[in-house]
Structure formats: structure tokens, C-alpha cells
Amino acid sequence: MKINTFKLENYLSQHEFLPQHLLCRSDAESMALRDLLDMADHEDQELWNNLQLGYTTAAGMPILRQLIVQEMYKDLMAHQVLCFSGSEGAGFSALFALCEPEDHVIVLTPCYQALIEIPKFRGCEISQLSLKEENNWCIDIDAIRSMIKSNTKWLIINFPHNPSGQVITPEELKNLIKLLDEHGVWLFSDESSRLLGAPIDGWAEPAAVLYPKAVSLNGMSKAFGLGGLRIGWVACQDPAAINKIKEIKNYTTIGNSTPSELLSVIALKNKDVILEKNNQILSDNLVILDLFFTKNQKLFSWVWPQGGCVGWVHYKGKEDVDLFCKKLLRDTGVLLMPASVYDVNENYFRIGFGHKDMVTAIGKLQQYLEALA
């Protein structure tokens, strides 16, 4: 069976490491290894200096899994978390293991392509439910209700939503779970940007804490800005589901990088400091973006993103958004991400605002627009 090209990852790998102004990244500002190690307590410094570079426990170091539940999934236990190489590795293994051919799977779109491609690759029957700008990109529970069939096995969601930055409220998640439970439908919830941002109604709990038939996906890449560690995980209350996912891991990476797991431990112990730093950059950048969009409202509009560090901008210019992005990159080195990368045939692009250098990139974009005018 064929797997489709991952357009988004190809787009990024084509441009990401050239000396350009990346204005579409979905991760928060990163940090130097030295700065992270400076945060380590005495015990972790000793562990780091004497770290044996043999295999780690396949499911993830016990101390890491313990910290993940302590910091993120209050009512879960360490054995209900499995660590992987990135959320990508976690998502692949979980969806590959748990989606069966012929299962009906509902996916909210536009979405990070892996969330739809893996169930497709497994031979599932896919129904896409498009989030709508007129509904502020919010989840529509009635629309989901109308799509559930007798063979519906999974609903796949991603909040904070990549690319719109919309979140699911605690109330919406509660109502969603009630609906899914009535129909025995499982929930796959990509929460990889959770805790980045400041949602008006506060953060919904991770789905895996609230619903025994849920898998929550998260990792160190987005809110912590530590994508280079390549550490992600799934959390799920169901032991049979955890075992099935673990079997796929046995055939892919077995265990993770030992140094990366220990560095993740250090980061999790300093979660509040790191998240405060990253959220401050984000909120400073949002003030600048608000001014930018007010100034250029004839050309752009967006729904204020409540979580994560990307937004989905409606481009109202005459030309196709692909062409706009291409010319912008050619003339200024500023990289946006057009909607075609998400298989969306409308004039939107993704903008990213998690990094300090956004200020320079926005300045270049403004100059470009003024020169055009």
C-alpha cells in the first residue's frame, strides 16, 4: 500500500536550514544545551556526567515517564505513558497500531498530514470534517455527531490546532467525550502544542486523563522548543492499547536516545520556567502581529490564535497565495507556508510566532508590502 508524500515536512526540509527568515515555524524558541544543563539540579548533573550510553528502557526511562505523568497527566500512572522518538514517532506507532483496515475514522481538517495519512495508509475509511473560519475554527460537535456511523472507530483531533491556533475548551471536550462514549468511539488527541498560549477559557485537561478510550499525544518539541531532542509520547489508560502501540515501537526504534531522555527530564523539572519564557516571547510577538494585521487589514485577516504558535491567515490579495509566498521568499527570504501544503485550495497561509526573530521577519514583510504598494 502506498503512503502519500508528506508535503509539509518536504516543504520545511527544502527551506528550513537555509539562511532565511522562517515565519511559519510551529515550535517555540529553543535553547542551547549549555542553558538547559545549567538548569539541572545536582542529582541530574551527576546523572548527566556519568550517563551510560547503553540502551534505555524501551518504554522510556522510568524517571522520565514518572515526570511526564506528574507534570502533565495528574491522574495517570507512569505505565500509561510510552516515550518515542518525537511526537511523530509516537503518533505513527499509535495510529498504525490502533487503526484497523475498514475502521471508519473521522479527521478534523486542515490537519498536520500524519494525522490523516497513517489511518489512510492502514486502509481505513476516512471522513474529513473541515473546521470553518466562520466558526472561528472551533470544533463542531453536532457536525461530528452527524458523521458517526456503526463502524466509526476513531475521531482524530488536534488542539491547539495546527494551523489555526484554535483550542478546544474544557466544556467542548467534556461534551465531545460524552458523545464519543455514547457511540463507543475512540479519541486520538494530538495535544503537541498544549500549554503554549493563553486560552480564554483555560486549558482543557489532556483527553487521556478524562476518557479511557483516548490517546493523548505530546512531546518536547513545541511548547518546550526542544524539537532536537526528538522525544515525544502517548498517554492512554487502556493497557491493551498501550501494548499494541509498544509492539510497533519494537519494530521501529526500540528505545530512544539516552541523552535526549535525560535532557527531557531536566526540562520537565524546569517546566514552569521554560514555559514562562516561551509564552512571554509568544505574547510579545502577538502584540506585534496584531498591529501588523490591523495596519494591513485590506490584505490579511485572521482569527486570533488562542494556543500554540501558529495562525491561519486569509490572504485577500488578487494573486494566488502560492505565488505570493513564492515571490516573498524570492525577494526577502521570508518563508510563509501556503495552504496548498495542507491540501487546501484556498488563499490561506500559516504564520508562526514562537521565535524572537519573528520581529525581523515581520519587518521584512512590511517593507516588502510597502514596496509593492
Ligand X SMILES: Cc1ncc(COP(=O)(O)O)c(C=O)c1O
Q: Rule CB under 6 A: which residues touch ligand X? A: 26, 86-88, 91, 112, 158, 162, 190, 192, 219, 221, 227, 232
List the alpha helices (DSSP H) in the chain: 7-15, 33-38, 42-49, 62-72, 86-98, 114-121, 141-147, 170-183, 207-210, 239-250, 258-269, 271-295, 321-332, 358-372
Torsion of CA 226, 232, 237, 242, to 10 degrees: -170
CB of 369 to ligand X, least distance (A): 27
Q: Is residue 11 classed as helix, strand or coil in its secondary structure?
A: helix
CB of 98 to ligand X, least distance (A): 16
CB of 93 to ligand X, least distance (A): 12
Q: Rounded CA gap, 185 and 130, in Å? A: 19
CB of 232 to ligand X, least distance (A): 4
Categorise residue 308: left if φ over 0, alpha if ψ from -120 to 50, beta otherwise: left
Choose between 253 and 296: whose C-beta lies nearer to ligand X. 253
User: In 70-85, which positions are buried (b, 16+ CB within 10 angstroms) versus exposed (e)?
Assistant: eebbeebebebbbbbb
- HSE-CB at 131 with a 13 A cutoff on CA atoms is 25
Choose between 11 and 148: whose C-beta lies nearer to ligand X. 11
- Report residue 343 CA to chain centroid gap: 18
Bridge partners, 172 (sequence order): none
Choose between 224 and 332: whose C-beta lies nearer to ligand X. 224
Choose between 92 and 300: whose C-beta lies nearer to ligand X. 92
CB of 15 to ligand X, least distance (A): 14
Residue nearest to ligand X (CB): 86
CB-CB contact of 169 with 159 (8 Å): no
CB-CB contact of 373 with 47 (8 Å): no
Choose between 232 and 307: whose C-beta lies nearer to ligand X. 232
CB of 136 to ligand X, least distance (A): 19
Choose between 86 and 144: whose C-beta lies nearer to ligand X. 86
Choose between 232 and 338: whose C-beta lies nearer to ligand X. 232
Q: Is residue 316 classed as helix, strand or coil in its secondary structure?
A: coil
CB of 161 to ligand X, least distance (A): 8
